[in-house]
């Protein structure tokens, strides 16, 4: 699919290494963003998360960083074509290199990072960069968050369960602590395939919740439908 039409914006994604996914849309709908005035989206891809957060928070200034040149051009096109364009900024750069030079701080940092550490790599180099964390390791991501997150800010990350365990070990060393973990399953019968977690500098009691994308009839669950109704055209 070369484009994905949402209620208030469109994602052009022709030849993008990663297309719009249900999981990414759920992530964008779950992140708590109402209090944020400055947002950093690390690895913005085609700009999906940035645009969802721009729709949800009319006050936020949002910066998306994307390493892949073609995907960054798509994100720029999607940003400029939206009614939120005056609040969206695209940086085409390696996030780690950008971080070395930047002193900016953000209330909210979000990242739907490359999922895989050691699995078989795709022969398509662009897809491999998007899916494997060689170009953005847990250590590098935690370093970027630690440097650029405001003292009272929050970071939201989505990873598979095993990768999230490893990421938490690394980010703990930066004195950033998980305060909410949401386990995502395709249905009640399936094990979680993703964990969405929020992190802050204040160590709090950990909240753990679950969300199921589908109900027992393989329709979207009530909770999923309520979260995505503001975005999906047909829901």
More confident residue, 131 or 215: 215
154 pLDDT more than 80: yes
- DSSP conformation letters of the chain: --EEE-SS-EEE-TT-SS---HHHHHHHHHS--TT-SEEEEET-TTTHHHHHHHHH-TT-EEEEEE--HHHHHHHHHHHHTSTTGGGEEEEES-HHHHHHH----EEEEEE----BSSSPPPSSHHHHHHHBTTSS-HHHHHHHHHHHEEEEEEEEEEE-HHHHHHHHHHHHTTT-EEEEEEEEESSTTSPP-EEEEEEESS--PPEEEEEESB-TTSSBPHHHHHHHTTT-S--
pTM: 0.92
- Look at residue 130 in the predicted model and tell me its pLDDT: 41
Q: How confident is the model at residue 1 (pLDDT cuts 50, 70, 90)?
A: confident
191 pLDDT more than 90: yes
Per-chain mean pLDDT for the chain: 93
Tokens of 41: 């989206």
More confident residue, 128 or 94: 94
- 9-36 pLDDT per residue, tens: 999 999 898 899 999 999 999 999 999 9
Residue with tokens 């055209």: 233
d(Cα 181, Cα 138) in Å, to the nearest integer? Answer: 17
132 pLDDT more than 80: no
The CATH code for residues 3-228 is: 3.40.50.150
What's the CA dihedral at 170, 171, 175, 176 to 10 degrees?
Answer: -160
* Residue 149: half-sphere exposure toward Cβ, Cα within 13 Å: 28
């Amino acid at each position: 699919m070369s484009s994905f039409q949402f209620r208030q914006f469109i994602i052009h994604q022709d030849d993008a290494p990663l297309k719009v996914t249900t999981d990414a849309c759920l992530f964008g709908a779950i992140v708590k963003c109402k209090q944020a005035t400055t947002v950093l989206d690390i690895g913005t891809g085609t700009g999906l998360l940035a645009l969802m957060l721009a729709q949800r928070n009319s006050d936020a200034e949002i910066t998306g960083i994307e390493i892949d040149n073609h995907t960054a051009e798509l994100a720029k096109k999607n940003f400029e074509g939206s009614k939120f364009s005056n609040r969206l900024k695209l940086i085409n750069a390696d996030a780690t290199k950008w971080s070395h030079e930047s002193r900016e701080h953000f209330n909210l940092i979000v990242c739907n990072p490359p999922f895989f550490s050691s699995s078989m790599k795709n022969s398509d180099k662009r897809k491999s960069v998007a899916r494997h964390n060689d170009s953005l390791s847990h250590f590098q991501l935690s370093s970027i968050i630690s440097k650029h997150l405001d003292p009272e800010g929050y970071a939201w990350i989505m990873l598979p369960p095993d990768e999230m365990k490893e990421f938490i070990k690394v980010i703990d060393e930066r004195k950033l602590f998980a305060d909410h973990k949401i386990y995502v399953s395709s249905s009640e019968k399936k094990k979680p395939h993703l964990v969405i977690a929020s992190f802050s500098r204040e160590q709090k009691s950990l909240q753990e919740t679950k969300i199921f994308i589908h109900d027992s009839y393989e329709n979207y669950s009530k909770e999923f439908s309520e979260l995505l109704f503001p975005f999906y055209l047909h829901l």
